[in-house]
Amino acid sequence: MAHVGIESVLVAGRGPAACSVVAACSRLDVKTVAVYSEADRSARHVRLADDAILLGPAPAAESYLAVDRIVEAARRSGATAVLPVPPALAGNVRLAGAVVAAGLTWVGPPAAVLERLGGDGVEPVSERGFLAWVTDSGLHHTTAVVRDRAAGTARLSWTPDEPVELPAAAKRLAEVGWRGLVTVGIAPDGELAEVAAGFSLDMAVLERAHGVDAVELALRSAARGRSTDAGPGWAPRKAVAVQLRSTLPPGQAGRVTGRLPESGRRPGRTPDVEVVAVSGYDPGDRLDGWYDALLATVSASGPDTATAARAVSDVLTGLPETGVPHDGPEICPVLDRLAAGSPAPGA
């Protein structure tokens, strides 16, 4: 059995986030089963997984968000657990309950806790918030985060340089039974806003800041009888993460003809800064008009936020022709402001 205590998982999701989860499971020696719609038969997350199962037609409501079809796919695949990727699934109380009722392990907070908190899978949207890994002993790897939402979506998030005082209610997450990863929004009055599960963009900030694998933490929390101690850890670093999206008109398809951002150290730059990039597409892949056109995520950590922002900006500025238009030119000025030590819009 894999050292995280789970042998195989059905990865419920698509795009760069699902690709990242599949890659992490491979490193952890956990077998993965991808799910896909008829429009995604040859998608990158399908190619990366050990196995894959068709959910249904292209519309997300009939495939990626269809609770009964996801649970049936998990049963047929022989997977022992279901790992929901987007917050819309990870916070879905009906899916959580159905997975457990089917005798499978749910990689996320218990259904009863999700129901108490709304049970409908919220997206983290507040400009300020924090991330953490919640265990029986409390919050670990707690990471303050700020988001830029100038484009109406959380396209960029980072760790603020100044200390952030968490709301008193944050400590109660463990007491109410939340287990695993959490993304929390902080309201303007300082109280908790959204409480989200799943692998949002912000999870890359937690990973870069603390040098941990979010998938491993999620699996360890879900495995019955496994230790959930946080371990010694290291001194947190500053981190920045962005989402690179296609700007094709809604419903219009395209084709990726060039390489998207890649991981690795940047030649001639600060030696202790490493960029992590996860793409949802390879050259030649079709970008379907059915879904949110998220191309890739790019994140980096450094001794300060400015250094991390500069590393991410270098990647997007030097990006070759991809074959589809994207919002890199709109994101880079925000990164440049962070790199210069100035607050970005929305901060």
- Residue 187: pLDDT above 50? yes
Would the pLDDT of 233 be above 80?
A: no
> For residues 202 and 329, what is the distance between their CA atoms, to the nearest angstrom?
21
Lowest mean pLDDT among 136-145, 184-193, 224-233, 276-285: 224-233
pLDDT at 311 (0 to 100): 93
56 near 320, Cβ under 8 Å?
Answer: no
pLDDT at 151 over 60: no
- State how far the Cα of 309 lies from the Cα of 159, in Å rounded to an integer: 10
In this prediction, residue 173 carries a pLDDT of: 93
Q: Would you state the pLDDT for residue 342?
A: 79
Encode pLDDT of 293-314 as tens digits.
899 999 999 999 999 999 999 9
pLDDT of residue 32: 98
Is pLDDT above 90 for 232? Answer: no
Q: Which of these ranges, 118-122, 238-242, 263-267, 337-341, has the smallest mean pLDDT? A: 263-267
Tokens of 34: 């991808």
- 245 near 301, Cβ under 8 Å? no
Q: Which secondary-structure segment (H or E) carries 297?
A: strand 294-302
Measured between alpha carbons, how far is 277 from 244 in angstroms, rounded to an integer? 10
Residue 141: left (phi > 0), alpha (psi -120 to 50), or beta?
Answer: left
Q: Kindly list the structural domains of the chain, giving each domain's residue range(s) and its CATH number in brackets, ordered by start.
A: 8-116 (3.40.50.20), 128-222 (3.30.470), 238-339 (3.30.470.20)
- pTM, two decimal places: 0.93
Q: What's the pLDDT at 134?
A: 94
Q: How confident is the model at residue 266 (pLDDT cuts 50, 70, 90)?
A: very low
pLDDT at 153: 66
Provide the pairing of β-strand 31-37 with 51-56: parallel
**% of the chain at pLDDT higher than 70:** 90
What's the distance, Cα to Cα, between the start and end of the chain in Å?
45
